[in-house]
């Protein structure tokens, strides 16, 4: 594999700065995954894990994000955040993040940081 020269690197990344693609699709799913045996951390016991998966497409490319959260998180994303993200520039992550926070500001947004983090690839 060849490496880029500094000038090729600069030229390539200057082109990438000018890319924009509107979010065309946004799907959210929740999965209940049973554990092999009951699990516990000493304060709580459980027999399953919930996984929320987000798929966003823009510019013919699909991105995947996930987080461990209750199915209610998936419902919040579908009902409150999907319409906020739809049509936005997928490369403008800080702007989308701010729009999502504003969309749920009256819901006491701190507890809902996880669905936003799931969308932007971060962690809450």
Q: What is the pLDDT of residues 64-121, one digit of tens each?
A: 999 998 999 899 999 999 999 999 998 888 899 899 988 887 876 565 565 566 556 5
- The whole domain housing 83 covers 21-120
Does the residue 67 lie in any domain? yes
pLDDT > 90 fraction of the chain, expressed in percent and rounded: 44
Find out whether 85 and 96 touch, Cβ atoms under 8 Å. Answer: yes
**Residues 6 or more apart whose Cβ sits within 8 Å of residue 72:** none
Confirm whether pTM is higher than 0.75: no
Does the residue 103 lie in any domain? yes
Does the residue 14 lie in any domain? no
Q: What is the pLDDT of residue 32?
A: 97
Does the residue 85 lie in any domain? yes
Q: State how many domains the chain has.
A: 1
CATH of the domain at 78: 3.30.390.10
């Amino acid at each position: 594999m060849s490496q880029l020269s500094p000038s090729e690197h600069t030229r390539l990344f200057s082109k990438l700065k000018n890319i924009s693609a509107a979010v065309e699709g946004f799907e959210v799913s929740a999965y209940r995954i049973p554990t092999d045996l009951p699990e516990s951390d000493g304060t709580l016991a459980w027999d399953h894990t919930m996984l929320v998966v987000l798929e966003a497409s823009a510019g013919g490319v699909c991105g995947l994000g996930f987080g461990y959260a209750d199915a209610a998180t998936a419902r919040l994303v579908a009902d409150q955040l999907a319409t906020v993200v739809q049509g936005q520039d997928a490369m403008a992550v800080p702007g989308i993040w701010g729009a999502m926070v504003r969309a749920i500001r009256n819901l006491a947004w701190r507890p809902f940081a996880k669905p936003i983090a799931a969308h932007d690839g971060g962690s809450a």
